[in-house]
Amino acid sequence: MATAPGSGSHGPMASPRVLRTQVGIIGAGPAGLLLARLLSRRGVDSVVVENRSRAYVEARVRAGVLEHATVELLEEAGVGERLHSEGLRHDGVHLQWPGERHRLDFVDLCGRSVWVYGQTEVVKDLIAARLAAGEPLLFDVRDTAVHDVTGDRPRITWTDADGTATELHCDAVAGCDGFHGVSRHAVPAGVRRTWERTYPYAWLGILADVAPSTDELIYAWHPDGFALHSLRSPTVSRLYVQVDPDERIEDWPDERIWEALARRLATPGWTLRAGPVREKGITPMRSVVTEPMRHGRLFLAGDSAHIVPPTGAKGLNLAAADAWLLAEALAAALVDGDERLLDGYGERALRRVWRATHFSWWMTSMLHPATGPGADAFDRELQLAQLRYVTSSRAAAASLAENYTGLALDR
């Protein structure tokens, strides 16, 4: 982070502190942090600004399944060590509906696995690596704003944690500030196009201090609603139940959650172990895609441009794929002076985004029955027919496995 000429005093009433870097990155989630790391490995400087505290960002419980290519990327970024020692390789998943549980063997079906390693851990590793390298990562900033993205000298402004107004001049701005960030809004409404699907259900998720009752994830269809048994470690389980989107967490005491999980996940000869709930929350389910992902010198990556429902475990992986595509493109432009990859960034990223959007919608549609009075019996039979097909046809199972474990990054 260089200080540009003209900077100097920066008291409350003084002109802003002026900094200069090659890529200004807004947001220290997986997209922003991984992008910063990959850029650094390619000799490109960046500054990352985050409006939350480090403690908050590191504690935010999110997804936990890493595609094969995401694992390789994290290795490339130099943060593969803890992932390999503490993460768990999973070679398949279980799909079930009342009375039947079937395992899909990913390695057999498509030659790839996934890794279970919490997004919080990925974020902690990336933050630690960035700070250890002495590279700029500023937490607790306020009033982040993006300026002049259609010119050659885009800027990001913010107020630092200590109240200093700061202006960052850069060659490119990466909007990695998630769904509620400011970057997306720097693309004028007349240029921006949004596709959206809101699903009529939500997930109530818990993190529990109890050994997982399964060695691989269980995705369960049940007439009461979907349930998922996931995990974080040999002593921590992560579980979800489908609920109505307007459900209140106060109405779900722990016993009610465990009871719903036990009923929906039940299968002959298997029992669910319950334990203390450390964390719980309700997540709405939606798909959102925004275009373009590039506007002038502003590039969107991750949740700032697209959201998927969690069923296919794609959110974190899409953020990582965007970060890689953007790092390659920015390095080609800023190191080699070749702008072609930057010109193609949006189109390449969106091709993958729409594939994952389809897969997430498909998994979601197959596994979540309408519940309550008036539930569509026809839809339920279609869901069960699809589940039977996916667990009995090698071609159908291979398609799920290929999408779940993820496409190669350059596809």
Tell whether residue 313 is a contact of ligand PHB (CB under 6 A): yes
Measured distance CA(223)–CA(232) in Å, rounded: 27
Helices (H), 111-187: 119-132
Measured distance CA(75)–CA(72) in Å, rounded: 5
Measured distance CA(330)–CA(341) in Å, rounded: 8
Q: Which of 125, 167, 303, 328 contacts ligand APR by CB under 6 A?
A: 303
Tell whether residue 46 is a contact of ligand APR (CB under 6 A): no
Do the Cβ atoms of 208 and 58 come closer than 8 Å?
no
Catalytic, 240? Answer no
Strands 218-220 and 92-97: parallel
Please list, in sequence order, all residues whose beta carbon lies within 8 angstroms of the beta carbon of residue 238, skipping any fewer than 6 positions away: 64, 205, 206, 207, 208, 230, 231, 232
Catalytic, 358? Answer no
Choose one: 42-50, 58-66, 327-335, 370-378; the region binding ligand PHB (CB under 6 A): 58-66
Q: Nearer Cβ to ligand APR, position 101 or 306?
A: 306
Q: Which of 314, 345, 368, 369 is catalytic?
A: 314
Q: Nearer Cβ to ligand APR, position 44 or 307?
A: 307
Q: Nearer Cβ to ligand PHB, position 350 or 363?
A: 363
Tell whether residue 302 is a contact of ligand APR (CB under 6 A): yes
Tell whether residue 175 is a contact of ligand PHB (CB under 6 A): no
Measured distance CA(158)–CA(51) in Å, rounded: 9
Helix (H, G, I), strand (E, B) or coil at 206: strand
Q: Which of 68, 90, 94, 306 is catalytic?
A: 90
| Helix or strand run (H / E) with residue 230 | strand 227-233
Measured distance CA(159)–CA(172) in Å, rounded: 20
Choose one: 25-33, 83-91, 289-297, 372-380; the region binding ligand APR (CB under 6 A): 25-33
Tell which positions 179-208 bind ligand APR, by CB under 6 A.
Answer: 180-182
List the structure tokens of 208: 């529990």
Residue 333: CB minimum distance to ligand APR, A: 22
Q: Which of 30, 154, 212, 310 is catalytic?
A: 310
**Phi and psi at residue 243, to the nearest 5°:** -135, 170
Closest by Cα among 391, 384, 90, 102 to 267: 102
Tell whether residue 290 is a contact of ligand APR (CB under 6 A): no
Binding marks (x or -) toward ligand PHB, 60..99, rule CB under 6 A?
---xxx----------------------------------
Q: Nearer Cβ to ligand PHB, position 293 or 313?
A: 313
Tell whether residue 277 is a contact of ligand APR (CB under 6 A): no
Q: Which of 20, 155, 184, 238 contacts ligand PHB by CB under 6 A?
A: 238
E strand spans, 118-177: 137-138, 142-147, 155-159, 165-169, 172-175
Closest by Cα among 33, 44, 26, 135 to 337: 44
Measured distance CA(26)–CA(49) in Å, rounded: 5
Catalytic, 199? Answer no
Tell which positions 126-165 bind ligand APR, by CB under 6 A.
Answer: 144
Tell whether residue 130 is a contact of ligand PHB (CB under 6 A): no
Q: Which of 117, 199, 201, 219 is catalytic?
A: 219
Tell whether residue 310 is a contact of ligand PHB (CB under 6 A): yes
Catalytic, 90? Answer yes
Q: Which residues bind ligand PHB (CB under 6 A)?
A: 63-65, 217, 230, 238, 310-311, 313
Catalytic residue set: 90, 219, 310, 314, 404
Binding site for ligand APR (CB under 6 A): 26-32, 49-52, 57, 62-63, 119, 144, 176-178, 180-182, 302-303, 315-316, 319
